[in-house]
Amino acid sequence: MTTTQNSRPAPDESGGVPERPTGGTAAPLPGEAGQVSEKEARQVAEAARESTWDRPSFGKELFLGRFRLDLINPWPCSDAEADARAEEFLGRLREFLTTEVDGAAIERDARIPDEVFQGLARLGAFGMKIDPAYGGLGLSNLQYCRALMLAGSVSPAIGALLSAHQSIGVPQPLKLFGSPEQKQRFLPRLAAGEVSAFLLTEPDVGSDPARLATTAEPTEDGTGYRLNGVKLWATNGTVATLLVVMARVPAADGRRGGITAFVVDGDAEGITVERRNEFLGLRGLENSLTRFHDVFVPKENVIGGEGKGLKIALTTLNTGRLSLPAMCVGAGKWSLNVAREWSAERVQWGRPVGEHEAVAQKLAFMAATTYGMETMLDLCCRLADDDRNDIRIEAALVKLYASEMAWRIADDLIQIRGGRGYETAESLAARGERPAAVEQILRDLRINRIFEGSTEIMHLLIAREAVDAHLSVAGDIIDPDAGLGRKARAGARAGVFYAKWLPTLAVGRGQSPRAYAEFGPLAGHLRQVERASRKLARSTFYAMSRWQGRMERKQAFLGRVVDIGAELFAMAAVCVRAHAERDDHPENVELADLFCRQARVRVDALFTSLWDNTDSVDVAAAKRILAGRYADLESGVITPPADLPWVTGWSAGPSTATDVRRRIPPSR
């Protein structure tokens, strides 16, 4: 529900993989917000995405059928000195979370106490990713994610607070795009404990940023802008004193305009926090509906220049997305601990329940998958900490994979715990039993499949990157707006590219029974990954040849392609990690083997369903459902009242609501 679910430019909800802009240049932005066309929405998304690949990407190569194991093997090392400094901080954080934070009270009261904010500020937790030159701790992505994992295990609301503040809030965009003056002006405040938020989503703007309606009108004297609009689902919005706000600057003579990122003072005149939103989980989340009415923002607060807002959001999320899987990994570890201890102690039918095959399968899945998620995250963090790598695909894959798998793990945990899994921790404690908050972790995890790009949108975003090489050489062939000349030139380019590429998909190293022998018992899994990556590339090419321009509508097919890629990425990662740690942690070789065996079953099923499925039947049925053909099926129940709209409209103007913002007193 954080605004980052929409911060990566995305296709509109009815479309698929965005079109490649014509002529090789960024497409113009729509002149006005509102009901833009499908083509305009895609052009906005395409213009914002990073179009070049000037650094290596394991994920990109994998989808092209090129298994570049050398990009992740040997297992990347982190800086030992920096790790030692981080461990000292993590120790202090652990002590604070253990002794000063009551996660149950946060859940019960739906509020993180002021004292917790103040304690986190004293520790420097609000400056974990901020450079020491500005008062921060300067943690690596790897150690930052470990800190989030630790915090989230005590209270997922605290994990979300710290993540939204640093991964997508003011610190990260300024780190990447801010001017020296902006960094000096804002970062010390944030490192000292002020909270930031990111505001993009609007009541009627979800994954389609082309329809953004918040405006930033330049003032006549040229000193700044006037912001007007309403922003929804701003995590930290009720407590933030500094905001990143995305607003549309109107185009004019000499001014291209477009969606622009601003740093806005949270206490500026004209800002009203109209309500704090409440959710299924993350009950301590400070999430707002915020109105801007003629809010003045000085021109010095523009980040990166006019019209750069969506590109800034996209680039920020290349690493910002890693915070969410960190908390999913933490949830997997927590769930595995509860499941293991309970399954060993609880006896049914004369044996511990964990020895019954039905439960044993769940335990094996939980252990293997937690190891897989952790490995993917660790690898992505280590690659992100090395500027020589492009991790846009890898970070998106781990976000997608971890959010889906953590949900399955939590669901299995409830099943293992039975009635006690459905019972609240408070009720368990009242009966004198260990208060394992299993039902809460399921509720808290559910949003991760929506946060920072829903699963459906993530499938399309990753698929767009996966087919980028094809669109780069052959996009004009399937572009209905391309003329004969462009199509002819594209045909020539495609002929050269495919003449070299297609033969590489026929035979590869994975067909040799001695390949990857240095990995010992895991070698067979790496051979399978190599063969499967080529098969995946062949399947994608065949689909593009078969459907051409209609490929963008094959969202279910594209989703399966991405899911296969995620499993192959995870398999490769666990094999490399387990091999690197085999002397110190020989048990990890067993976990890697277990994970790969399970993943291969899933991959086989996904390959089968690429072509053996009910996709076309489902789409046809959905059209009839939307037309009301089966509406009689809904009779016999009392449905929600229809006197209110599904999406509330809004109009510019001063707020008529009571301001509900919360300000945290400074630490004494």
What is the DSSP annotation of 267-290? T-TTEEEEEE---SS-TT--EEEE
Q: What pLDDT is stored for residue 109 in this prediction? A: 97
Can you read off the two tokens belonging to residue 245? 């706000």
Is residue 13 scored above 80 in pLDDT?
no
Interior angle at CA 142, CA 141 and CA 145, nearest 5: 80
User: What is residue 235's DSSP assignment?
Assistant: E
Q: Is 404 a residue of the active site? A: no
SS3 450: coil
Is residue 523 scored above 50 in pLDDT?
yes
Least confident piece of the model among 53-62, 207-216, 535-544, 591-600: 207-216
CA 464, CA 567: separation in Å to the nearest integer?
18
Other beta carbons within 10 angstroms of residue 360's beta carbon come to 13
Tell me what the pLDDT averaged over the chain comes to. 92
Per-residue pLDDT tens over the stretch 422-442: 999 999 999 999 999 999 999
Q: Residue 458: left (phi > 0), alpha (psi -120 to 50), or beta?
A: alpha
CA 26, CA 385: separation in Å to the nearest integer?
30
SS3 297: strand
Which of 37-46, 547-556, 605-614 shows the highest mean pLDDT?
605-614
Beta bridge pairs of residue 275: 289
The band of 1, judged by pLDDT with boundaries at 50, 70 and 90, is very low
Q: What is the rounded average pLDDT of the residues 396-402?
A: 97
Q: Find the catalytic residue in 61, 194, 374, 452.
A: 452
- Helix (H), strand (E) at residue 501: helix 484-501
SS3 196: strand
Can you read off the two tokens belonging to residue 183? 């960094």
SS3 472: helix
Q: What pLDDT is stored for residue 37 in this prediction? A: 67
Which of 210, 299, 208, 306 is CA-nearest to residue 252?
306
Is residue 26 scored above 70 in pLDDT?
no
Which of 60, 69, 195, 100 is CA-nearest to residue 577?
69
Q: What is the rounded average pLDDT of the residues 527-531?
A: 98
Which of 303, 286, 270 is CA-nearest to residue 195?
286
CA 501, CA 65: separation in Å to the nearest integer?
9
In whole angstroms, how far apart are CA 80 and each of 87, 91, 143?
A: 10, 16, 12
The band of 58, judged by pLDDT with boundaries at 50, 70 and 90, is very high
Place of tokens 């009203």: 272
C-beta separation of 57 from 335 below 8 A? no
Q: What pLDDT is stored for residue 38 in this prediction? A: 66
Can you read off the two tokens belonging to residue 539? 């399947």
Is residue 10 scored above 50 in pLDDT?
no
CA 188, CA 124: separation in Å to the nearest integer?
11
Place of tokens 């895609």: 42
Other beta carbons within 10 angstroms of residue 659's beta carbon come to 13
Q: What pLDDT is stored for residue 315 in this prediction? A: 87
Which of 607, 142, 165, 592 is CA-nearest to residue 386?
142
Burial (CB count <10 Å: 0-12, 13-18, 19+), residue 503: exposed
DSSP calls for 580-624:
HTTTT-THHHHHHHHHHHHHHHHHHHHHHHHHSS-HHHHHHHHHH
Q: What is the rounded average pLDDT of the residues 212-224?
A: 95
- In degrees rounded to 5, what are phi and psi of residue 244? -100, 120
Q: What pLDDT is stored for residue 48 in this prediction? A: 67
Q: What pLDDT is stored for residue 621 in this prediction? A: 98
Least confident piece of the model among 46-60, 446-460, 598-612: 46-60
Per-residue pLDDT tens over the stretch 352-388: 999 999 999 999 999 999 999 999 999 999 999 988 8
Is residue 2 scored above 60 in pLDDT?
no
Q: What pLDDT is stored for residue 33 in this prediction? A: 53
Is residue 12 scored above 50 in pLDDT?
no
Q: Which residues contact 326 (CB under 8 A, 6 or more apart)?
A: 145, 146, 148, 149, 152, 159, 163, 377
Burial (CB count <10 Å: 0-12, 13-18, 19+), residue 5: buried
Q: What pLDDT is stored for residue 260 in this prediction? A: 97
Least confident piece of the model among 49-63, 321-335, 388-402: 49-63
